[in-house]
Structure 1
Amino acid sequence: MTEQTKKRALIIEQVPVLTDELQETLRLLSTEHGIDIYTTRQRLLGGGLAHFGSGPLEKVTAIAGQLEQCGVNTWIIRPSKPKFGPKRLRGLEVRDDRIVFSLHNEEVELYKQDRVVAILADITGAVVDKQLKRLMARNIYEGVIDNSKLDDSEMRRAIYMGQPVYDLYLIDEENRIKSILRALPAKFDPKGLGEKASMSSRGNMQALVELTENFCENFTLHTSYGLSQLPGCQLKRAADSSDWVNDNLNSVVRFGWLMTDLARQLQRHRKKAEAIDGPSVGTVTAATLLGRPELAASGVLDEMPGLGEVIDEIDAAVKEQPKKEEEGKVDQRLPQPPPGRDREFSWRAMLTFFVTAGICMTLVLITEGNRLPGLVMNYGVLTGLLPGLAAALFFFFGFNLFLLKRRIENTPTSKIRSMAMGMVEIHGRARRKFALVAPMTHTPCVYYRLRKYRREDRGSERGTWKLTSESDSGHVPFYIEDATGRVTVDPKKAKIRAGSKQEGFPGQGNILFGGGGSYDETEKWVEEVIHEGKLLYVLGDAARLKKERKSLRERKIEKMRELKLDRAAMQKYDTDGDGRIDADEWQAAGEDIEQQVLHERLAEEGVAARQEDAIVIGRSKHRSHPFVITEMKSEESLTRNYAIFSGLMLTGALIAGIFTLKLTLDYFGIL
């Protein structure tokens, strides 16, 4: 087997997001080398290292070169099998030119010029949990998709809070591993740390890491164990194996040997990738200014006196440009939802309460043997009063549904950019305006309704579920957007139909946010959610959002008060220099402030507010105008449902009406 045909492993540093250039490169790699795009995307995204694949050197080098051109760091290695493991650190002594580590039966000396690869790892999975929580929290609470890894301080803090392991790989002059040391909390004598020694075992571990990191001139620290997708380096949990601690300690050793392979083996393909890029922008510019463009690729310009500095400045400016563009990007983090509003008094709710209470009272009296309710109900049926009431209710609800159906059909669908004020119909996708999260499933949403039930455990109603509380996010506005723009929707008092309904128990939320533990089976939650990005139908009243602004007089008084507190500003109006502000000087100050307030008001009115913040779709002041928000596939399906329900209601009203007429005529002896 030749050197070219021997298999090599391609290791990559994962990226937080796939750029358009990288997506196109993956398509080319799929065509040229037959790689699976879906699997490749999974390996590329993340916050650690990953095994991209293995193959002949020529093929692996070609793939690595294309990835390098897209900004992905790659390594081509022949993975070494671990030949020996680490030895436990017992103590240490710091000298001027070296650190002497005491092991079981020997001592190992570490000099400043020695080459060291260090592994700081947590074998409990705390770093992985923190990374996943961060990933989901950024998306859920801030509306940001971010796969980037934790920064170094966060990573180290998470490791120290878990069960840390610190391995040192000492590499000799022949590029071989000569010793491996392992430090565990409370397993070594911290006296050698001097003033940095403490009563905390994790504090001593942190001091040891900082000591070796600052002492060695050629020191590389890796903290991505558990986040990396490397063969033989998988993190196990307590539920996976009874011997998970030893399994993870062994996989840390495997991870350490792979990291030393990255450091020890020469990466020739990177130079080739740099050569493919050709001359820099500064070199081409300098060659063009000299009138000798053919010198750009020769490398001669860099050695010419004065030109090297010019080329470096141009290249630095080009590299700085993307940074400025990134700094200019708008932060898309979402604000927290506004506090809930107090529920307003509702005559409809009060009427429903009294009707329900009356029915319950009647049923109680009947069950207790009281004849009066039975006589009243019998009289109501015989005279046709109760069937007539039922017919009226059926007709009322059926006719309202029919009117709503006709209103939907007769209201044209408007584009958000060109919609008029008044009753409008909008089709679009739901977008969060605030960082709203469903309380049970912890998913990003624009609206939720949560009903809590408790199971009765005594009496005749034992085993039945009783509604104990109900909450919703009707006070939290959201956006609806189409191809032309977006506008705010205030869902307060709307008829809302959510497309997602889930039932569960408290504690069955997302495990990354503390769920998955024990829960009370006597309590049940039912959650209805409109998730972000879902297609919505909104029928409501569009109006300009009126902002409460202070009057000119209020603003003037406020600024006059501020002026009194500002001694330096007051001195500007002390024209006679006597240290006092007389009536004329105070009047002049008031006139200046009045002009300032007027200019500020004119400037505010001159700035046009964005449509999404200036217009809101909500409930109309006219009670007859509907306000509907529903998650739907099409308008036809919505109107079809309303037609079916209104037809059933009106049919029921007709049947109840005929029955009422017959009973009434029979009672009065007309028939």
Structure 2
Amino acid sequence: MAKTTNQTPATNQDQSRGFLLYNRRPALSEHVLESLKEAEAITGINQSELRMRLMGLGIGALNINRCLNELEDCAADLRFIGLNTTAVTKEYVKNGKLPPAARHINLTDSTIKFLDANENTLFKITKESELLIIITDLSGKTVKHLMTAMAYTGNAINKTFDEILKKFSIAKPAAIFYSLNGDSENGVYVDSDIFSYMGLNDKLTHSKGSNFRVMVKEAMAMSKSSITDENFGISLLPGANPEWSRGKSPVEKELGRYTRYILTAVEKKLLPFEAESNEASDEETSPSLSGDKPGTYPSNKNLAGMNSSKGLQPPPNINYSKITSFFQTSLPELIVGLIVIVSPFSFFMSGVKSISAHQVFWKMAAGSAIVLAGVLMFCYSLLLLYYRRMVENTPTSKIRSLSMGMVELSGKSRLYYDLRTSATKTQCVYYRCRYYKYQQTNDGSRWALTRSVSSGKIPFYIEDDTGRVLIKPKGAIFNIPMATQSFQGSYIPTLSIQLHDPNTKVVEELIPERARLYVLGSAQVEKHGKKTREIIIDKLRMLKQSPKIMSEYDINSDGQIDVEEWEAARSDVERMVYAESLANGPGDSESVVIEKPRFGLLPFIIADSEKNLIRKLMFRTWIFLFGGLSTMGFSLNFLVNFFR
């Protein structure tokens, strides 16, 4: 295969910078999810962000700002935990160019030759050739349509290579052919707009798109083996992220850099991508990744079960005002809110020197307000200490064996509603999305927030190896580092929206599905449906509306239902309802949910892990304890000096 020049001189190697290349996946297997914690320690990138980066198609790149030696060590560590990665230098990618452009083709039974304008052979395919074939649409329209479809369905682009080839061929198709037999980059570039297909001979058709497909398929059939790639513009790799609106020349420049990524991925065995054995067997999260040809991705049938939101209802609309949202938060958050409100007012009033008519009153009010702020901070520190002790002393339960009352659970988040982020349509259990506009002002330039959208705290499941339980997070303290996605002046990867304006930016923060969560809350029984008495009343009402059934209880046949006859009917209805209840069991009439405790100052906390939560609670305890004591000391000293 072609050997890439992804090396630097020994004297400059330590100064070289680069990227980590890795395989993106349509869905993450259990093995990959379990490796994220170790991957975070290796790369320094948060688990949630790694989860988002690993999702998708094609090749991805991590920019972790390390020298080449450290990148190669990092890649080796990631391979050791089962994540196939390799390092590529930025300079190698930056210098990437397209191979010579062909103008003609000559197809025979044993060879395919690509010729320049002077009929000189640029590239030849024989039955012994091993090929890398990269196809794309230079207009970008097909890529945008594919990614828009991905945004609406919430799935990876689940089309075979043949289907994508057909879509590309009816736009402005282009292809790059590389030989993997030699020791150098030997390839040819075909731009369908300036290419003649007359040399296809008896395979020639009247359609340029059909001729392009014939050329690619004949090359694949002629060669000994072929690896295909169709993800240019989808993978969004650094330096290879095309701006389709700028015209063909800039897009071709980005395509040249993209080929360097793909050549490195092929050389380092990242392509063709093959699922690990445990990943391929994980039917729930990652079906078989075998395509129709090497280097292709799953067909629609293979991906049919990948959408975990299938059958879920959309989330309810939550339109709380800021005041309503404030009073629906947890008690600790209310206390912090009061501290924030009282403290600035207190310190401002303590600086008032010349209010002649009410100077004494305002100084007393300022001192008293500062004392109140200090007392609140001190009390809040004790509450945080109480929470920390409860987290440490409450044993972690399995969902199947949890008991009613305060309970501690650890597991993975799962969807209860089909919740997706507003911009990229990423599945999650919670998100915040902020839209910014770059504005010039007299004081300079800055990103100004124009709109903010949040999902609100809507129910979701937490799941472990024994079962799942519903979490109702209203009133909970969220202590979770969220995954962040930021997009500026270009197409968002899933293409839910376009950002053609470079002065526009979108920042998404989310808790994705299958994120590792820790929950400390109250397990309570929630009843559903009607009570037995209500069911009896409904059936009696229906009985009255049915003269035929009522006549069966008219024992004396006088056309009237007397008291004794009505009591007999009522008794029959009651027996029938109770019999149905016993026969059907409790069914879905009762379920266990985790929600905010109904009494006292008991906590309701959702975090990423118990260890991190304990560390954060301890840090905040000391901060508020020191702040409260300092504030009270300052305010008492102020009042003592005032009354002297």
TM-score by structure 2 length?
Answer: 0.50
> Comparing both structures, which one devotes a greater share of its residues to helix?
1
Please tell me whether Structure 1 or Structure 2 has the larger radius of gyration of its CA atoms. 1
TM-score (norm 1): 0.48
